[in-house]
Structure 1
Amino acid sequence: MTGRVDTTIASAGTGKTTELVSLIGEDIKTVEPERILATTFTVKAADELIERARARLVDEGRGPEAVRLLSAMIGTINGVCGRIVSEFAIDLGRSPTNQVIPAEERDELLQLAADPVFARHAPKILGLWEALALGELKEKGDWRKHVACIVEKADENGIAAADLKVSARKSIEGLAEFMPVPSDAENPSTWDGDLRDAIGEAIRRADGVALTASMGAKSLEEIERLNGKLSRGESLSWPDWGRAMKLKVGKKADEVMVFADVLRAASVAARHPRLRADMEAYIEAVFACAADVMTAYEAYKREHGLIDFSDQLCLALEILRRQEFEDRLRERIGSVYIDEVQDSSPIQVALFLELARIAPKSRWVGDPKQAIYGFRATDTTLTLNASLGIAAETGGKPGVLAESFRSRPGIVSLVNDMFVPAFVRMGLPEKESSYEKVRRKADPAVDTPLSVWHFEGRYPKNQAGALAVAVADMLANRAPWPVGAGPNLSRPLVPGDIAVLCRDNADVYRVASALADAGIRVAAEQRGLFQAEEVELALAALRWTADHTNQLALAGIARLLGGTEEPTAWLYSVLAEGDDELEKLVPFASDLRQIRKRQLQLTPSEILDEVLVAAGVAGHSCRWGNTTDRLDCLEKMRGLARKYEETCRNTGAPATLSGLATAIEDDMATRPRSRDRNSVNVLTYHKSKGLEWSIVICTDLDSEPKTWPVLMPTTAVDGEVDWQKPMENRWIRFWPYPFGLNKDGVDIDVRWRNSETGRKAIKEADEEAVRLLYVGVTRARDHVVLCTAGKGNVDWLDRLAADPVTPHVILPTASGRPLVANGKYHAVRFVSWVEGEPVDVSPEAPFIALPRTMAVHDPLRIRPSDVASDEGTYTFTHANLYGEIPISGNPEMDDLGSAMHAIFAVDDRGRDMKARIETAKTILARWGVTGVLPEEVIAAADRFWKHLDERFPTGKVMREVPVHAYDGLQVISGRIDLLVEGPDDEDWFVVFDHKSFPGRPDKWDGHARKHAPQLGKYAKAVETAIGGRKRCIGCFVHMPVRGVVIGVQAMNAETGEQVATIA
């Protein structure tokens, strides 16, 4: 290592960004601003960092340095790596303009590349999938999700496709940790038959036995279901075996006898050789498929000139490691700042190590206590070891930010007592785990900033309803909940001050629905964007704009706009002849028709904007109330339209209006979070990281960490993690769980928990759960509410304890009792809530839709060859070339015209006549033109060349001249058939256009008139392109078939004077 690396542990709310801004400001005194490199976890954090750093420089009178800081490499790790790759792309032999696949589109493009691979592997994998009945775990999708996850893990850990065989082998070998084998005394060949016989016998024994309703009777139903499968010749899946070994039986002897043989026969499932064989075969097949998918995906990206975020990281790492680039990199990078280092993946740690080697000094800032993204390939052990190790090896200074600027003293005290002992057990020093100072003071108007709420109710839905009652009461009685309005000041709360944190998305949807049902506005992502009426209306309008024959779409618009006076009028209109009656029910139907006429001039997303704004769909939607949320949903729909166009650009597919309608409807989009300050925030603990609110309500304290069954592939490391070689010895472990929803009592669940891998996984999950709860509680500025429900289980809080017997945190169960954390008492307000009917606390703001006129814009690009018109006043002159081209039969004139254009473009009078005729013959044959002799076409060419020599003897002839120039707000783009330019000392040029028109002389002027605007556009484009140095003195239509050149001159209809050029 050549550079010094200082590290900073920044606890939540201790002014980490302020510290970074200060460090960068000091650094710029000795390092050029453009040589600063800083990475952040999110784009938002990067924007905040650079703007605050620039603002500080401006405040200090260092404006020029603030401007130069815009050239610094500050952004997310992928943004910074993208800059590095772009700057060194040519050195790598790559295009600097490679299109980067947005993260949200990667899965879609991967699926596109993988579809042929999936088709090849499906026959083998599907049989194993069904045998293991992995589809019972519905939340995890199908086998293709397993493949995609392996591909993702391989990308994150730099594992090549060819090396996936090693992961498959190690995964199979690892099954021995928890899967037993038959003993020598057992005969597995009879086990399938034993279970089949036992099931039949149980049904016979049950006849006449009074079974317990809640146990034996239900078990008999399960036995009969299994027997039905066997009777139909179907095999029992492994989840079927799991259910058979977990049958519930009453205590009566005769009931026990009914199911005894089934329980005994099914109990061997975990050590059944066929189960082991199925699991091994499935593991091997999925890894083989994943390797082929990786190969196909790489080929797809090469073919389309694409790279994804993983490629950016790998290419940047290659650049940083190549010795020939070191000098240039040292010139470019003077200081490095790494934010949120604890959330780094192994390849990112490898990048940071290389940057530390190149830069004279680096600063790594993070908080191991907030490492909560294990599912995103982060490695907490690696990042912690790397931070400690690199500081020690380079002589860097470790620092700690331990003064809370965010929370009230009562909250800080609780955080210290709740979490510090657990963090110390994880290996973090107490000094780095606790707050030492608090900047804010306690609010004298509040007895305690801590509250405990208990929600009565047996089911989660009832408990969510009780939470809604509690929040409604908080909003109705705001006096006990003052929130900060500056240093030690307070103000009444507004709904946006409140955040309800949930364990997962399902809990978010449930709580958000309960709050919405109670009349409380909610800022939360919710299911069903396309079930929102405003989006349904916009989509129907989009479909009818795309296809006027789509009566279903038109009827959908009419139904949604039907109102309450005649809600079924649209239905009677559907039955009428034609669509006229339906259109009468759609007030903006004429606007949609106008938009339809302009489809070819607009992109799909632009058409959507026209539909929403110009046609008034957004305005009509807002009249239904809940205006802000409806506009947010429509805005998300606009975002999906832009995403669709980006996907089309990446894949090379055409972007069409009907394609957009299909694509956005197929997207499993959620409704966006409301941005209204009068909305209560509901989100997961994970998504709350980096944010803060005045009041934080922590729910789901009864949830347990998810460790078993192992559903998806995970990253494994052989031996101890070496922070200096972060990507070595990594592989992917995949153990599919074979017993479906039977997650305990199936033998292997206990064996897995007792295995080395199981114990490690449980320990890591428990530790991450502690860190996640720490993140949640430390989001609060003024108040924290801890919630229990039902029986009051607090399994999540139990993870804070040193042992499972002695609780570390004890929540009160009645008013007047304290909360106990680490043996210390904390005063709390305790309230028990039940589901009820809260009052409406979110009055609807009025909305008035202003009328809008539809703006009609000319197309951006003008192709002169597409401009045709019979309008305008012109004069015409005729120059006879004295010779026509004889035509036999009826050739296709368009093909003849294309052929003659090509012949006139390449004909060279200096060549031998035979060669010229042979070229003309080849071109005519290529266009399939018969009935015209090549000799005649060459003769016509000679007549034309002679005419040019006589008419413009000093001119320079140029053929097929490309032209690109602005005409006001439009761009003229095309190719001129023939341009004659005067010599340098003469300021003229003329334009010719070849037309294969075979009509009579009385039709010549009319045909030339149609193409006059085209010639005018060409003339204007040339004058613009050359800056007006020369002017057009003539525009001509050459008709070689009739042997005539027609001059076209525009006239002023009022004065009769000639116009300088054709307009």
Structure 2
Amino acid sequence: MNNSLTIVPAGAGSGKTYRIETTLADWLDKDEVRADRILAVTFTEASARDMKSRIRARLLQSGRSDDALALGRAYVGTIHSLGQRLLTEHAFAAGNAPTSRLLEDTERDLLIRSQIGKAPSLQPIAENLSRFGYRFTPQGGTAEDQFRGKILSTIDLLRNLGPRGSDPKLLDDLIDTMKVDYGKTKKQNKLHAALKSAVQNMFKAFPNDVSETVSAKTRRATLRADHQLIRSAAQTDRLQTDWAAWQKLRSLFISNSNSKLPQGYDELAEAIIEAADGLELHPGPLNDAIEHITGLVNGAQEIVAAYDMEKRQRGLIDYADMIARTEEILRETPDTLQAVLGEIDCVVIDEFQDTNPVQFALLWRLAQHAPKALIVGDRKQAIMGFQGADPRLSQALDDQFPDALDPLRCNWRSVPEVMEFVNSVGAGLFGTDYEALTPQAAPGCANSPIQYVNEISILLSICYA
């Protein structure tokens, strides 16, 4: 670290955009930064346009029209546009053709899907989808559709990890974590024998379902389903591998104040429930989970390797490449990193909480070496989890550089009545990690009751994100 670093935790309505605008203006006014040597990044096109227009407007208001024009040459935009620009300017260092074509989403999916059937690690799962929990549902479609969806999401997660996603040791770490989380197991044969005996005792005592002994329609349907499960478990070997059946047997219906079942039924059902509760200590589910994650991770890594090779041969890139390959060349070719750093005076990052690991690596590689760096974000507003974003990265940065923290503590958007409520909820959700924002608006200045409702809804959605 040889720069001036400022980290700004900024809650909703605290004025983070204004802070970015005024900080850049101050640097420009003091001639510490040139307009064409600004690198400013955010995560949506709309936010990038707004940031650029605000900086330009500030320059024009100060009579600095030349700087306003020079801003067009600066790196101001989304992280993907930054990656695309650097890949274009340093194509040979990245091993790309200077005119690499960006894949459309449909083309990307087609190339990836064409590799799924060629990945040998996926075959054990594909040959027994039901064993690993894939079965038709109205919402998710066929078992095959769900399996393909799981593969694609695994591929996206691995690519968001950067080089870590292709590391063979990643799988070992995942399996070790699974074993720790699952806990110690008991002997499989003993657990299975106890449950098998319990369901056979029930089926022997009640070979027909007892649904007609209750009046409620929903209760009758539940008892019929229970009986079908018990009969299947007693007459087949499904309990050897069907952990969903074990789970269902843990919640059999028994008598209550409104529905009385035949004498002896409840005792036998409770014996089944007690035996099925051993599922949490049964090694079978853990073994299957390990086999499942092994096939998915190895298969996804095989597909990504083949997909990357095909892209390079065809002179193609996709959106993930804009980040992953840019991070790679900055990490592996110091001359390229120095060339980029030689063109910038500062790094400004907005919405930093929405970075995934490879985005974090790319941005931090630049920010930690730039003469000036301003990083703004709020972990409570993280919304990009579906893209692998991890707000713990932002937390780790805060913890490593406590002296660089300069939080915004005021709220300029909401009335005190709303902020009192939100601060109370925030403290309950996040404890000491939540920093209350002091409202600056006058009491009761909302235009209508609807505005109160809208503000509360928006702020609560942020708190629960």
When the two structures are superposed, what TM-score results if normalisation uses the length of structure 1? 0.39
Assess if the C-alpha contact under 8 Å between 2:36 and 2:71 holds in 1: yes
Match of 2:354 among 325, 336, 343: 343
Residue 124 (structure 1) aligns with? 124
| 1:919-951 deviation per Cα after TM superposition (whole angstroms, max 9, x unaligned) | xxxxxxxxxxxxxxxxxxxxxxxxxxxxxxxxx
Residue 72 (structure 2) aligns with? 70
Residue 87 (structure 1) aligns with? 89
**2-side partners of 1:270 and 1:421: how far apart?**
32
Match of 1:244 among 237, 243, 249: 249
Please state how far the C-alpha of 1:69 moved relative to its aligned partner. Answer: 0.4
Please state how far the C-alpha of 1:208 moved relative to its aligned partner. Answer: 11
Larger relative helix fraction: 2
| 1:2-61 deviation per Cα after TM superposition (whole angstroms, max 9, x unaligned) | 211122232322322222222223323423211110001211000011112112222222
Residue 56 (structure 1) aligns with? 58
- Taking the TM superposition and a 5 Å limit, the aligned residue runs for 1:389-538 are 389-390=400-401, 392=403, 396=404, 398-420=405-427, 422-426=429-433, 433-440=435-442, 442-443=444-445, 482=448
| 1:206-225 deviation per Cα after TM superposition (whole angstroms, max 9, x unaligned) | 67994575787445412432
Assess if the C-alpha contact under 8 Å between 1:164 and 1:287 holds in 2: no
| 1:935-981 deviation per Cα after TM superposition (whole angstroms, max 9, x unaligned) | xxxxxxxxxxxxxxxxxxxxxxxxxxxxxxxxxxxxxxxxxxxxxxx
User: CA 1:35 to 1:161, structure 2 compared with 1: closer, same or farther past 3 Å?
Assistant: closer
**2-side partners of 1:207 and 1:384: how far apart?**
56
Please state how far the C-alpha of 1:366 moved relative to its aligned partner. Answer: 1.8
**2-side partners of 1:341 and 1:355: how far apart?**
14
- Taking the TM superposition and a 5 Å limit, the aligned residue runs for 1:488-887 are 695-696=453-454, 773=460, 775=462
What SS is found at the alignment partner of 1:246?
A: coil
**1-side partners of 2:271 and 2:427: how far apart?**
53
Residue 384 (structure 1) aligns with? 395
In structure 1, the gaps of 5 or more residues are: 444-448, 450-480, 484-497, 499-692, 700-770, 777-795, 800-1063
User: CA 1:210 to 1:317, structure 2 compared with 1: closer, same or farther past 3 Å?
Assistant: closer
Please state how far the C-alpha of 1:161 moved relative to its aligned partner. Answer: 6.1
User: CA 1:97 to 1:249, structure 2 compared with 1: closer, same or farther past 3 Å?
Assistant: same
Q: Percent identity?
A: 24
What SS is found at the alignment partner of 1:407?
A: coil
Residue 144 (structure 1) aligns with? 148
Please state how far the C-alpha of 1:400 moved relative to its aligned partner. Answer: 3.3
Does 1:358 pair with 2:365? no
| 1:490-549 deviation per Cα after TM superposition (whole angstroms, max 9, x unaligned) | xxxxxxxx7xxxxxxxxxxxxxxxxxxxxxxxxxxxxxxxxxxxxxxxxxxxxxxxxxxx
In structure 2, the gaps of 5 or more residues are: none
Please state how far the C-alpha of 1:125 moved relative to its aligned partner. Answer: 0.8
**1-side partners of 2:47 and 2:455: how far apart?**
24
Please state how far the C-alpha of 1:440 moved relative to its aligned partner. Answer: 4.7
Does 1:182 pair with 2:186? yes
Letter matched to residue 67 of structure 1: L
| 1:275-304 deviation per Cα after TM superposition (whole angstroms, max 9, x unaligned) | 343333222222222222222221232232
Assess if the C-alpha contact under 8 Å between 2:158 and 2:166 holds in 1: no
Does 1:280 pair with 2:290? yes
**1-side partners of 2:22 and 2:276: how far apart?**
67
Residue 156 (structure 1) aligns with? 160
Letter matched to residue 115 of structure 1: I
Does 1:293 pair with 2:303? yes
Assess if the C-alpha contact under 8 Å between 1:198 and 1:262 holds in 2: no
Deviates more, 1:202-211 or 1:14-23: 202-211
**2-side partners of 1:399 and 1:257: how far apart?**
63
User: CA 1:242 to 1:420, structure 2 compared with 1: closer, same or farther past 3 Å?
Assistant: closer
Assess if the C-alpha contact under 8 Å between 1:202 and 1:262 holds in 2: no
Aligned residues: 451
User: CA 1:399 to 1:419, structure 2 compared with 1: closer, same or farther past 3 Å?
Assistant: same
- Taking the TM superposition and a 5 Å limit, the aligned residue runs for 1:12-27 are 12-27=12-27
- Taking the TM superposition and a 5 Å limit, the aligned residue runs for 1:305-320 are 305-320=315-330
Residue 38 (structure 2) aligns with? 36
Please state how far the C-alpha of 1:231 moved relative to its aligned partner. Answer: 9.3
Assess if the C-alpha contact under 8 Å between 1:128 and 1:278 holds in 2: no
- Taking the TM superposition and a 5 Å limit, the aligned residue runs for 1:193-342 are 193-194=196-197, 197-204=200-207, 210=213, 213=216, 217-226=220-229, 229=232, 235=238, 237-250=242-255, 253-257=263-267, 259-321=269-331, 322-342=333-353
**1-side partners of 2:87 and 2:429: how far apart?**
42
Residue 504 (structure 1) aligns with? none
User: CA 1:264 to 1:201, structure 2 compared with 1: closer, same or farther past 3 Å?
Assistant: farther
**2-side partners of 1:96 and 1:284: how far apart?**
37
Letter matched to residue 359 of structure 1: A
**2-side partners of 1:273 and 1:94: how far apart?**
48
Please state how far the C-alpha of 1:126 moved relative to its aligned partner. Answer: 3.5
Residue 963 (structure 1) aligns with? none
**2-side partners of 1:337 and 1:64: how far apart?**
21
Letter matched to residue 198 of structure 1: N
What SS is found at the alignment partner of 1:775?
A: helix
User: CA 1:33 to 1:366, structure 2 compared with 1: closer, same or farther past 3 Å?
Assistant: same
What SS is found at the alignment partner of 1:74?
A: strand
User: CA 1:165 to 1:15, structure 2 compared with 1: closer, same or farther past 3 Å?
Assistant: closer
Assess if the C-alpha contact under 8 Å between 2:347 and 2:370 holds in 1: yes
What SS is found at the alignment partner of 2:454?
A: strand
User: CA 1:225 to 1:13, structure 2 compared with 1: closer, same or farther past 3 Å?
Assistant: same
**2-side partners of 1:175 and 1:162: how far apart?**
22
Letter matched to residue 251 of structure 2: K
Residue 914 (structure 1) aligns with? none
| 1:996-1015 deviation per Cα after TM superposition (whole angstroms, max 9, x unaligned) | xxxxxxxxxxxxxxxxxxxx
User: CA 1:694 to 1:50, structure 2 compared with 1: closer, same or farther past 3 Å?
Assistant: farther
User: CA 1:312 to 1:203, structure 2 compared with 1: closer, same or farther past 3 Å?
Assistant: same
**2-side partners of 1:442 and 1:257: how far apart?**
62
Letter matched to residue 153 of structure 2: C
| 1:714-769 deviation per Cα after TM superposition (whole angstroms, max 9, x unaligned) | xxxxxxxxxxxxxxxxxxxxxxxxxxxxxxxxxxxxxxxxxxxxxxxxxxxxxxxx
Please state how far the C-alpha of 1:242 moved relative to its aligned partner. Answer: 1.7
Letter matched to residue 368 of structure 1: R
Assess if the C-alpha contact under 8 Å between 2:75 and 2:82 holds in 1: yes
Assess if the C-alpha contact under 8 Å between 2:211 and 2:219 holds in 1: no
**2-side partners of 1:420 and 1:127: how far apart?**
49
Please state how far the C-alpha of 1:245 moved relative to its aligned partner. Answer: 2.5
Letter matched to residue 162 of structure 2: G
What SS is found at the alignment partner of 1:181?
A: coil
**1-side partners of 2:283 and 2:10: how far apart?**
53
Letter matched to residue 299 of structure 1: M
Please state how far the C-alpha of 1:181 moved relative to its aligned partner. Answer: 2.5
Assess if the C-alpha contact under 8 Å between 1:161 and 1:292 holds in 2: no
Larger relative strand fraction: 1
Residue 731 (structure 1) aligns with? none
User: CA 1:48 to 1:177, structure 2 compared with 1: closer, same or farther past 3 Å?
Assistant: closer
Residue 135 (structure 1) aligns with? 135
**1-side partners of 2:154 and 2:76: how far apart?**
31
User: CA 1:335 to 1:121, structure 2 compared with 1: closer, same or farther past 3 Å?
Assistant: closer
What SS is found at the alignment partner of 1:38?
A: strand
What SS is found at the alignment partner of 2:46?
A: helix
**2-side partners of 1:312 and 1:152: how far apart?**
14
